[in-house]
Structure 1
Amino acid sequence: MSHESGHGHYFVPAPSMYPIIGSTAILFMGSGAALTMNKMELGYGLLAIGFAILIYMLFGWFGTVARESEAGKYGDQVDLSFRWGMSWFIFTEVMFFCAFFGALFYMRNLSIPWLAEESTVLGNSYWNAFSGIWPTAGPGVHPEFTIIGAWGLPAFNTFLLLTSGVTVTFAHWALKKNDRAGLKKWLLATIFLGALFIACQAYEYAHAYNDLNLKLTSGAYGSTFFMLTGFHGFHVTIGTIMLTVIYFRSAAGHFTPEHHFGFEGVAWYWHFVDVVWLGLFIFVYLM
């Protein structure tokens, strides 16, 4: 059932099949991932089916929400629910990255110095007299690798993301002034900067693998470097897709200066991505 929106009413959507469709997608994706990791060819097909179902669900469910919003069915209480939901989602993302930053801190400041101390106490034959100087692949014999300097491409990527934070803010200001041309212009600029960041990171990864011998398998440094930057790159990709959707919705005349949380939620997410990158630039590249 549903009720008309307003200050005193809360919109209740009609029953939807999309939750069970999403669960089906997760079932196929989880089964496919498990089989793929065990080198079973069936896993690739199941993964493809799962992703196809997930994309169908996202288009259908988000499209339904957008149509309900544009029909004026969402009142102040629904808007507040969306804001709380997005806030808690971003909080979970913060905790996700805190776990990886915590792992980096633990290795650099606790476990690696402890292993180096044990290596010294037990003699040169133990772990080849592991020195514990960061960056390191860890104790034992590992192929040599070269780290990526902070003041090359990483600094340029920092400039790109910080600039994109400014352009998405300009887009927000334009929306609040009902400047549709400015909204679309600044959104396109933000999307371009996000896509350029992704392209630069792809080049950085290719350079690391082919020229620097820096890989995910490069011990402690390689695993933390690629896990942190890789997951951040994934979030930038998702954010760029979200901004693209918002651009097409804006071009279709969606959002008003008074009601535009769809835009605001994506802007929050994009600023979160910017802040995480600053932490990466400092703790992964600089230190």
Structure 2
Amino acid sequence: MTTQYYVPERSYWPILASIGLFLMALGAGTLINGLQQDGSNHGKWLLLTGAALMACIVFAWFRNVVRESRAGLYSAQMDRSFRWGMSWFIFSEVMFFAAFFGALFYIRVFAVPWLGGEGDRGSSNLLWQGFTAEWPLLQNPDSELFPGPSAVISPWGVPLINTLLLLTSSVTLTIAHKGLKTGSRATVKLWLALTILLGIVFLGFQAEEYIVAYTELDLTLKSGIYGATFFILTGFHGLHVTLGTVMLIVILLRVLKGHFDAEQHFGFEAVSWYWHFVDVVWVGLFLFVYIL
């Protein structure tokens, strides 16, 4: 028995993607480091150029993959390769968020108590006279340089609504997946569109939350370690929700064009895996950032 394995034609996409990623990294670094001696800062334009190049590359590269799949060029071995690739990608995303959750754990359990004089590693009078260790940290040790927020966001308002939105979106996406397996394309279109709508509403509420944090609560990236960890964790999650929503929109467009069937629909499954992962991360954020 001969095992078929598709070998794609020579492609320039990998090298172009490397150039795009390099421009994004160079632009981000230049932007963070501030103005040049002549008062200019080209970081923003390098970052935007790299991002635009990456968007075009991803669109064109994925279009090639879709065409190859639709042409029946992929074998069972390729299907396994795609599944392993998506699995390792999600694992890397798990490690990405685990690093930030680990930093939050270290700050709350070790660093802040040490600064407050707990144990034999620190003293409340060693660096900052009268510093009180508490979480969330509203009064920073150096309050003049890093003024703390006036208040934190209540978990029982917008965060709770967003939690319900994402949990509901996992249900609607599962229903759409079931519809695809049973051949009910009307079910797929309806519930997939509803999932996209829930993701967009989530992003709208998160944008409103950020506006309130900056304008009313003085909760910013510059408001000490609490503000930094809050926006890094929720901000990166919001970025993942944005990417997931874009991916769902692409999948919906493919469904409308007649792509996928009950047997061959790994593109749909891959995006479903990613979306469910993003939902699980949000549950962790809701518990450890907003509530505890």
TM-score (norm 2): 0.92
**Corresponding residue number in structure 1 for 2:274:** 269
Q: How many residues align?
A: 282
Within 5 Å, give how 1:23-102 maps onto structure 2.
23-37=18-32, 38-39=34-35, 40-102=40-102
Query: Which stretches in structure 1 are left out of the alignment for 5+ residues?
Result: 1-5
Letter in 2 for 1:131: T
35-44 or 7-16, which deviates more: 35-44
The CA RMSD measured in Å over matched residues stands at: 1.9
List runs of 5+ in structure 2 lacking aligned partners: none
Q: Which one-letter code corresponds to 1:59 in the other structure? A: F
Moved more, 177-186 or 6-15: 6-15
C-alpha displacement of 1:47: 2.1
SS of 2:14's equivalent in the other structure is helix
Q: Deviation of residue 133 (structure 1)?
A: 1.0
Partners of 1:238 and 1:254 in 2: CA distance: 21
What does the per-residue CA deviation read over 1:196-238, in whole Å, with 9 as the maximum and x for residues that have no partner? 0000000000000001111111111111111100000000000
Q: Write the letter of the residue equivalent to 1:228.
A: L
Note if contact 1:25-1:53 (Cα within 8 Å) is conserved in structure 2.
yes
Asked if 1:115 corresponds to 2:115, the answer is: yes
Residues 237/122 of structure 1: CA separation in 2 closer, same or farther (3 Å cut):
closer
Q: Is 1:11 the counterpart of 2:9 in the alignment?
A: no
Q: How far did 1:122 drift? A: 4.9
Partner residue of 2:241 out of 227, 236, 245: 236
> Given residue 137 of structure 2, which amino acid in structure 1 is its aligned partner?
T
CA distance 1:224–1:143, shift in 2 (3 Å):
closer
Shift in alpha-carbon separation, 1:7–1:231, aligned structure 2, 3 A: farther
Q: Is the 8 A contact 2:148 2:224 kept in 1?
A: no
**TM-fit CA distance, 1:149:** 0.8
In the TM superposition, what is the alpha-carbon distance from 1:144 to its structure 2 partner?
A: 4.1
Q: 1:119 offset after TM fit, Å?
A: 11
Find the aligned partners of 1:245 and 1:144 in 2 and give their Cα distance: 40
215-224 or 39-48: bigger deviation: 39-48
What does residue 130 of structure 1 align with?
A: 131
Q: Shift of the alpha carbon at 1:33?
A: 2.1
Q: Any idea what SS the aligned residue of 2:264 has?
A: coil
CA distance in 1, matches of 2:180, 2:158: 33
2:3 match: secondary structure: coil
Give the 5 Å matches for 1:198-277: 198-277=203-282
Distance (whole Å) between structure 2 residues aligned to residue 58 and residue 268 of structure 1: 19
Task: Tell me whether 1:286 sits opposite 2:286 in the alignment.
Answer: no
Alignment-derived partner of residue 140 in structure 1 = 142
Say whether the 8 Å CA contact 1:119–1:130 is kept in structure 2. no
Describe the shift of the 1:144–1:183 C-alpha distance in structure 2 as closer, same or farther (beyond 3 A).
Answer: closer
Residue 3 of structure 1 is matched in structure 2 by none
Larger relative helix fraction = 1
Q: In structure 2, do the counterparts of structure 1 residues 15 and 158 end up closer, same or farther at CA, with 3 Å as the change threshold?
A: same
How many Å separate the matches in 2 of 1:149 and 1:186?
Answer: 31
| Structure 2 residue matching 1:16: 3-state secondary structure | coil
TM-score by length of 1: 0.93
Identity %: 52
User: Given the alignment, which residue of 165, 170, 174 partners 1:160?
Assistant: 165
Shift of 1:264: 0.2
Q: Offset of 1:125 from its aligned partner?
A: 8.2
Aligned residues of 2:117 and 2:124 also touching (Cα < 8 A): no
Q: CA deviation at 1:126?
A: 4.6
Partner letter of residue 7 of structure 2?
A: V
Q: 2:265 & 2:123 partners in 1: Cα distance?
A: 64
